[in-house]
């Protein structure tokens, strides 16, 4: 049986649905079923979910990003 933290972490990772939100919002606005301002609000919420949910999932799971050597190539620095 999986740990509850693992299940919650997976649920947060799978909860980001930005492409679906954008597609449905675009269709609804184009058909006049939704105001453009409402579409903007929904897409903004989708963007926030892409930023917040994976970060929360990593924090919940206790996973950290690797530290040490920079990911920026030395030629750029």
d(CA 53, CA 12): 5
Domain-wise residue ranges, the chain: 17-61
Give this prediction's pTM.
Answer: 0.67
State the SS3 of 9-48: HHHHHHCCCHHHHHHHHHHHHHHCCCCHHHHHHHHHHHHH
pLDDT in tens, 19-37: 999 999 999 999 999 999 9
The pLDDT score that the predictor gives to residue 32 is 96
Whether residue 1 is predicted with pLDDT greater than 60 in this model: the reply is: no
Q: What is the pLDDT of the chain when averaged over all its residues?
A: 83
């Amino acid at each position: 049986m999986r740990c509850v933290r693992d299940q919650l972490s997976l649920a947060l990772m799978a909860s980001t649905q930005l492409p679906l939100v954008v597609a449905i919002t675009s269709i609804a606005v184009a058909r006049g079923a939704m105001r453009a301002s409402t579409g903007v609000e929904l897409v903004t919420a989708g963007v926030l979910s892409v930023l917040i949910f994976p970060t929360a999932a990593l924090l919940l799971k206790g996973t950290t990003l690797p530290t040490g050597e920079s990911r920026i190539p030395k030629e750029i620095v």
